[in-house]
């Protein structure tokens, strides 16, 4: 089902100039403007601010040792996922890397579900078994969170194959987006998946979130070709301002139409920036300066850009936006308390979802060896 967007004929709609937001490779068209209104901009503002507050809470709770293991935060990149989600429907497939908290939130999740998962509790989005890198929501065609760098792209090609296979004859196809970072962009498995998608005309969007650093290595030092949207050779590409939610939305609407019409895959590069280090173990100040991060915050913050539009078009006053921020923060804080109060998964979750019962459910393995052998479950296969 196609989404409805503000148009020039809508009362209260405003036109936003998108000049300079795009570059293309073997693809002539690019958006020049976006129509939007108070309702859309308010939704994007609240959604991105909610995600930002959630990730800040992740930082706080990680430092308090309430979140363990790997933890990769998305603050600074919110406009990319928000714009893509606005252009997509729930029928389109989405698979991404381990920097996936915010995507899990906007693809049908909740703050308490995301945080509950990070706290290792049973009320988390994957029952406390996946953690930071392995969110999943099949109902909304969100297929994770992948812990292995680049491994999601061949899986994304498989999702694109399914989109084509299941499409009605002669009709438009849903598309599959495989997100990866600039640090993964030179992997062989990505080119193999792209080549296969091109040969089979699969509706695959290869989405590079270029946040300027692969771990601690800048794109200039890691890539002989760091114009990533051109890496597909014969496959067309588009680069867009990944910190402008309207640019991403309009660009991805065009990309979705192209790929869904049976033209094959497309490379898309989102020019964005992450505020935190690569992960919580990375302070993010060894390979870049604090001044650089501050300059990005002041000039290209994705939330501030929407805030500016809301003020320029007199949809809100500064005071009213502050009140919205307070309400969103209050809601995120309340969700965090709910998540912390959740209980850990019961021991039965250790062996759930391993063997299928053939009816869409799971059945336990015949024997599970516990640390104390006398507490093992089922009959020991080597004991009469």
What are the Cα distances from residue 23, in Å, to 171, 238, 239, 270, 275? 29, 6, 5, 11, 24
- Is the pLDDT at 384 greater than 60? The verdict is no
Can you give the pTM of this predicted structure?
0.94
- Is the pLDDT at 189 greater than 60? The verdict is yes
Band of pLDDT at residue 21, cut at 50, 70 and 90: very high
CA–CA separation, 283 and 245 (whole Å): 27
Q: What is the DSSP letter of 137?
A: B
Per-residue confidence (pLDDT) for residue 354, from 0 to 100: 85
CA–CA separation, 19 and 37 (whole Å): 19
What's the mean pLDDT when you consider all of the chain?
94
Q: Average pLDDT of 203-221?
A: 96
Share of the chain above pLDDT 90, in %: 86
Per-residue confidence (pLDDT) for residue 101, from 0 to 100: 98
- Is the pLDDT at 183 greater than 90? The verdict is yes
- Is the pLDDT at 140 greater than 70? The verdict is yes
Helix and strand totals (H; E) in the chain: 11, 14
The length of the chain, given as a count of residues:
384
Per-residue confidence (pLDDT) for residue 53, from 0 to 100: 98
Contact 124, 112 (CB under 8 A): no
Band of pLDDT at residue 383, cut at 50, 70 and 90: low
Q: Taking the CB of residue 362, how many other CB atoms lie within 10 A of it?
A: 13
- Is the pLDDT at 171 greater than 70? The verdict is yes
Contact 99, 134 (CB under 8 A): no
Q: Which of 10-14, 49-53, 343-347, 351-355 has the lowest mean pLDDT?
A: 351-355
Per-residue confidence (pLDDT) for residue 54, from 0 to 100: 98
Q: Average pLDDT of 249-258?
A: 98
Band of pLDDT at residue 284, cut at 50, 70 and 90: very high
Structure-model confidence comparison of residues 272 and 8, the more confident one: 272
Per-residue confidence (pLDDT) for residue 95, from 0 to 100: 98
3-state secondary structure of 15: strand
Q: Kindly state the tokens that stand for 270.
A: 């989102």
* DSSP characters over 60-88: HHHHTTSS-S-----TT-HHHHHHHHHHS
- Is the pLDDT at 380 greater than 70? The verdict is no
- Is the pLDDT at 173 greater than 70? The verdict is yes
Band of pLDDT at residue 367, cut at 50, 70 and 90: confident
Contact 246, 48 (CB under 8 A): no
Per-residue confidence (pLDDT) for residue 2, from 0 to 100: 57
Per-residue confidence (pLDDT) for residue 152, from 0 to 100: 97
38-69 confidence digits (pLDDT tens): 999 999 999 999 999 999 999 999 999 999 99
70-101 confidence digits (pLDDT tens): 999 999 999 999 999 999 999 999 999 999 99
Per-residue confidence (pLDDT) for residue 252, from 0 to 100: 98
Per-residue confidence (pLDDT) for residue 253, from 0 to 100: 98
312-346 confidence digits (pLDDT tens): 999 999 999 999 999 999 999 999 999 999 999 99
Band of pLDDT at residue 1, cut at 50, 70 and 90: low
């Amino acid at each position: 089902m196609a989404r409805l967007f503000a148009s020039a004929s809508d009362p209260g709609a405003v036109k936003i100039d998108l000049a300079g937001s795009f570059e293309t490779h073997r693809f002539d068209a690019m958006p020049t403007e976006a129509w939007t209104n108070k309702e859309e901009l308010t939704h994007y503002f609240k959604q991105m601010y909610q995600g930002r507050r959630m990730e800040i809470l992740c930082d706080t709770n990680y430092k308090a040792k309430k979140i363990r293991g790997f933890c990769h935060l998305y603050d600074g990149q919110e406009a990319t996922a928000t714009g893509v989600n606005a252009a997509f429907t729930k029928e389109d497939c989405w698979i991404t890397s381990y920097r996936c908290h915010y995507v899990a939130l906007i693809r049908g999740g909740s703050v308490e579900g995301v945080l509950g998962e990070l706290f290792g509790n049973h009320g988390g989005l994957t029952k406390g078994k996946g953690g930071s890198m392995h969110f999943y929501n099949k109902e909304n065609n969100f297929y994770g969170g992948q812990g292995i760098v680049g491994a999601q792209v061949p899986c994304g090609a498989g999702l694109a194959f399914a989109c084509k296979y299941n499409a009605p004859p002669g009709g438009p196809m849903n598309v599959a987006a495989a997100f990866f970072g600039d640090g993964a962009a030179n992997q062989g498995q990505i080119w193999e998946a792209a080549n296969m998608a091109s040969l089979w005309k699969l509706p695959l969007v290869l989405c590079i979130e270029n946040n300027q650093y692969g771990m601690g290595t800048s794109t200039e030092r890691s890539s002989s070709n760091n114009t990533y949207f051109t890496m597909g050779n014969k496959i067309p590409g588009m680069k867009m301002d990944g910190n402008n939610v309207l640019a991403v939305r309009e660009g991805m609407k065009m990309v979705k139409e192209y790929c869904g019409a049976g033209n094959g895959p497309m490379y898309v590069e989102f020019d964005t920036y992450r505020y935190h280090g690569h992960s919580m173990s990375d302070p993010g100040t060894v390979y870049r300066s604090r001044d650089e991060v501050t300059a990005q915050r002041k000039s290209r913050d994705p939330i501030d850009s929407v805030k500016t539009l809301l003020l320029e078009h007199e949809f809100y006053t500064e005071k009213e936006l502050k009140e919205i921020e307070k309400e969103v923060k209050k809601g995120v804080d309340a969700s965090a308390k709910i998540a912390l109060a959740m209980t850990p998964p019961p021991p039965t979750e250790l062996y759930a979802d391993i063997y299928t019962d053939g009816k869409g459910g799971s059945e336990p393995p015949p024997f599970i060896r516990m640390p104390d052998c006398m507490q093992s479950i089922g009959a020991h296969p080597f004991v009469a």
